[in-house]
């Protein structure tokens, strides 16, 4: 059975209204290609990548996904790093036509990218900012609730509260992110007016992700209260509760200023945790939904599972009755 197309599935030729998130240290070419081949959007996370690595990962994704699926490959570019323009230009030169920009102003590169014929989606965390994205000319917005893994908005709006307000505020397609891991969640988001869902944490724990095996294990062993949003004084981020988290918590409880937090964070903390697998002193970014993730499937099995959950839930809801 085929799901009906909506504005988002049409825009990116998706078989399901599902997007595999671009994640620093996690979303490489192999993961994005597996997603594109499974009929969902596969995003390479450029955040941690120097230009030579980025080139290698894009070429790998294109090769693995093949000509008939590579149009479903996208690039996530967090705009807070100095080399984002070079990353964008490299990706454009390699034929990438879909860009998810985040952590910066949507005005920065939207016109530039649209002039080159690319589609642009910007990630945001409040209805006001979503309106600014629309004003900047993006094709769609990702709205990310407080539950989400990775860097986060300061205002703690949950996905359930944020989503309907953004849907009512803007005319462009809205993609919901933060707290989704299965087919039921996608249907809930569609009911609230989203045109699709972006999942991050769920895709960290897949066979194809670049996350260190220890990081994947940490997710499947996590419980519902294993994460907390921290470091609001610098860049808010949802952290796995480990020794590094405890150290940050102590500093925050003692009202440490941002310079002390930055000193503790140091350089390479995220690489140490998510790429090198140091579960004690590394920075491990995961979403609240980690508590519900209990296996490490292939992307293809995961997408098939989500699809059948959507169909089962639709049948179970049986919303019509004869008066």
Interacting residues with ligand FMN (CB under 6 A) = 21-24, 26, 45, 47, 76, 78, 102, 123, 144, 147-150, 177-180, 198-202, 204, 274, 285-287, 289
CA distance 310 to 254: 46
* DSSP β-ladder status, 227-230 and 18-20: unpaired
Smallest distance from the beta carbon of 257 to ligand FMN, in angstroms? 26
Which residue, 260 or 269, is less far from ligand FMN as judged by CB?
269
Q: State the minimum distance, in angstroms, from the CB of residue 151 to ligand FMN.
A: 6
CB closer to ligand FMN, 256 vs 309: 309
CB of 250 to ligand FMN, least distance (A): 23
Q: HSE (CB half, 13 Å, CA atoms) of 155?
A: 14
33 and 42 in contact (C-beta within 8 Å)?
A: yes
CA 207 to each of CA 3, 90, 215, 298: distance values in angstroms, whole numbers, following the listed order? 26, 27, 12, 5
Which residues, listed in sequence order, are joined to residue 76 by a DSSP beta bridge? 45, 100
Q: Between 104 and 193, whose beta carbon lies closer to ligand FMN?
A: 104
C-alpha angle 126/73/45, rounded to 5°? 55
Is beta strand 98-102 parallel, antiparallel or unpaired with respect to 119-124?
A: parallel
CB of 238 to ligand FMN, least distance (A): 8
Q: How far apart are CA 146 and CA 229, in angstroms?
A: 8
Q: Which helix (H) or strand (E) holds 240?
A: strand 237-240
State both tokens at 320. Answer: 């019509």
Of residues 23 and 33, the one with the C-beta less far from ligand FMN: 23
User: Which residue is at the shortest CB distance from ligand FMN?
Assistant: 200
The tokens describing 298, both together, are 């292939």
> Which residue's CB is nearer to ligand FMN, number 83 or number 260?
83
Nearer to ligand FMN, 132 or 260 (CB): 132
Q: Are 320 and 308 in contact (CB under 8 A)?
A: no
Smallest gap from Cβ 318 to ligand FMN, in A, equals 29
Provide, rounded to whole angstroms, the least separation between the CB of residue 235 and ligand FMN. Answer: 11
Closer residue to ligand FMN in complex, CB, 105/260: 105
* Site of tokens 């690595």: 53
Minimum distance from residue 139 beta carbon to ligand FMN (Å): 16
């Amino acid at each position: 059975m085929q799901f009906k197309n909506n504005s988002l599935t049409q825009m990116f030729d998706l078989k399901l209204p599902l997007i595999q998130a671009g994640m620093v240290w996690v979303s490489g070419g192999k993961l994005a290609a597996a997603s594109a081949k499974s009929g969902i959007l596969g995003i390479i996370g450029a955040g941690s990548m120097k230009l030579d690595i980025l080139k290698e990962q894009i070429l790998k994704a294109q090769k693995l996904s093949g000509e008939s699926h590579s149009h479903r490959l996208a690039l996530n570019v967090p705009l807070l790093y100095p080399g984002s323009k070079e990353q964008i230009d490299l990706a454009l030169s390699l034929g990438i036509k879909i860009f998810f920009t985040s952590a910066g102003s949507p005005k920065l590169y939207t016109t530039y990218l649209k002039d080159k014929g690319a589609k642009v989606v910007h990630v945001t965390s409040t209805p006001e900012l979503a309106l600014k994205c629309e004003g900047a000319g993006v094709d769609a917005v990702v709205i990310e609730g407080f539950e989400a893994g990775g860097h986060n908005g300061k205002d703690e709006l949950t996905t359930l509260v944020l989503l309907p307000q953004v849907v009512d505020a803007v005319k462009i397609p809205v993609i919901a992110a933060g707290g989704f891991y299965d087919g039921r969640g996608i249907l809930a988001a569609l009911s609230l007016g989203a045109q699709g869902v972006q999942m991050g944490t769920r895709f960290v724990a897949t066979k194809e992700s670049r996350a260190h095996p220890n990081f994947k294990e940490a997710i499947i062993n996590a419980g519902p209260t294993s994460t907390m949003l921290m470091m609001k004084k610098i860049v808010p981020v949802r952290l796995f509760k480990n020794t590094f988290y405890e150290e940050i918590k102590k500093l925050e409880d003692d009202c440490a200023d941002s310079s002390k937090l930055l000193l503790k964070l140091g350089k390479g903390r995220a690489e140490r945790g998510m790429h090198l697998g140091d579960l004690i002193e590394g920075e491990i970014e995961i979403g609240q939904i980690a508590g519900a993730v209990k296996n490490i499937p292939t992307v293809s099995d995961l997408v098939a599972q989500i699809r059948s959950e959507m169909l089962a839930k639709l049948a179970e809801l049986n919303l019509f009755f004869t008066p």
